[in-house]
Amino acid sequence: MQPPRREPLAVASLAEVSPDPDQLITVFAAVQAIHAGRTKAGRPFYDLSLGDASRTLSAKIWDDAGEAMQSAATLEVGQAVKVLARADTYQGAVQLVVRRLRPAEDDEPGYDPSLLFGDGHAIVGDRLCRTLVIDIETVPGTPVAELPAGVHHAIERFAARDGGDESLVMSLSPMLGRVISLAFGDGDVDPREQEATVLVVPHPDHPITDPPEWLRPVSEADLLRAFWTLAGAADVVVTYNGRGFDIPFLIGRSLVHGISARVDLMGSPYSLRPHLDLYRVLTGGGRALGPTGLDVVCWALGIESPKGAMDGSKVSEAYARGEVRAIAEYNRGDIRATTEVYQRIRDRILSFREGW
């Protein structure tokens, strides 16, 4: 006698998924990665990474799920999907074996973009893109006079060793500084037509009134939530020296605020996705052959440099004066320049590399 058929179980989030190969489940998720492959016997399959705000799981589609195979061929990273699958284990980890999947529909029951992409979706849901170019600006987080003596001494020693001032030392540390501006744009758009967006944290003594559409005032916590929403929807996050500064700073500040860093952007330094650090491409991942800052590279390539009246060393003082608009404009210029450098590298270097 056949056991009674078990109806598919609707699961609210990936955090609730547990192995049960006899139970079909339905769940909404965002496609974080997708790769087509073949077994040694020539059997086609798809490997996927499916995620929401609570968890990321690997998934497999085999050729006996023909409808799912056809749907997978049209999927894009960052796309929201509804999945019918079984949860099994593979090498000790939960893995979904997908039977069906399709794009999620905005008005269907149970679908909530914030549950997939995080609370930041309400801030930047209209600006998601596949190639995300980002840059941040930071300032000291706490007046030196308010720091414990031991922390202050650590800053003094660090400043003396590196020949910098205490303010700069604090701005470069995610434990002592904070993000006050995050600019981002679509790296696949012509830089001359790119409309970069900037999330800014207003100075408490200088509120922002009537900001332009591209300038979005937020708290630092909401800025971080928005960043992880953007990163989770992107196929690749593009930075210039982001592995050395921007990304670890954003991760550190997220830790301080208790916000999950939902995308691994500090994994293998040799991978081109999900984080492409243009500085590492140009330096071979090793020691630079002389000055290789963004302004130097822009000059060499004939690209207009964003460095002018404002540069990173002046951000802290400008922020104290309430010149957030000027900081945002400078940050926005970095996105345009980084996008131009990215497109040159994409077309002349990356297109000839395996894995791109």
Tell me the pLDDT tens digit for each residue of 69-102.
999 999 988 889 999 999 999 999 999 999 999 9
Asked whether residue 263 is domain-assigned, the answer is yes
Banded model confidence at residue 4, pLDDT cuts 50, 70, 90: low
Percent share of the chain, pLDDT over 70: 97
In the listed set 116, 141, 156, which residue is the last one of a domain according to the structure?
116
Asked whether residue 46 is domain-assigned, the answer is yes
Q: Do 85 and 211 belong to one domain?
A: no
CATH number at residue 51: 2.40.50.140
Assigned token pair, 229: 């929403």
Label residues 61-79 b or e (16+ Cβ within 10 Å = b): bbeebeebbebbeebebbb
- Rounded distance, CA 295 to CA 116, Å? 37
Range of the domain at 267: 119-352
Asked whether residue 36 is domain-assigned, the answer is yes
Q: Do 59 and 163 belong to one domain?
A: no
- Rounded distance, CA 32 to CA 79, Å? 8
CATH number at residue 194: 3.30.420.10
Assigned token pair, 252: 């550190």
Provide the pLDDT for residue 136: 98
Residues across the chain: 356
Q: Do 163 and 246 belong to one domain?
A: yes
Asked whether residue 198 is domain-assigned, the answer is yes
13 has a pLDDT exceeding 80: yes
Q: Do 50 and 152 belong to one domain?
A: no
From the list 29, 35, 8, 15, the residue with the least C-alpha distance to 94 is 15
126-159 per-position pLDDT tens digit? 999 999 999 999 999 988 878 888 888 888 888 8
In the listed set 64, 83, 116, which residue is the last one of a domain according to the structure?
116
Q: Do 108 and 230 belong to one domain?
A: no
Q: Do 223 and 274 belong to one domain?
A: yes
Asked whether residue 73 is domain-assigned, the answer is yes
Q: Do 306 and 161 belong to one domain?
A: yes
Q: How many structural domains compose the chain?
A: 2
317-336 per-position pLDDT tens digit? 999 999 999 999 999 999 99
In the listed set 70, 98, 116, which residue is the last one of a domain according to the structure?
116
pTM across the whole model: 0.84
Tell me which residue has tokens 């974080």: 32
Tell me which residue has tokens 């190639």: 131
Arithmetic mean of pLDDT, 215-232: 96
- Rounded distance, CA 179 to CA 201, Å? 8
- DSSP β-bridge partners for residue 102: 82
Q: Do 221 and 135 belong to one domain?
A: yes
Tell me which residue has tokens 């894009």: 76
Asked whether residue 2 is domain-assigned, the answer is no
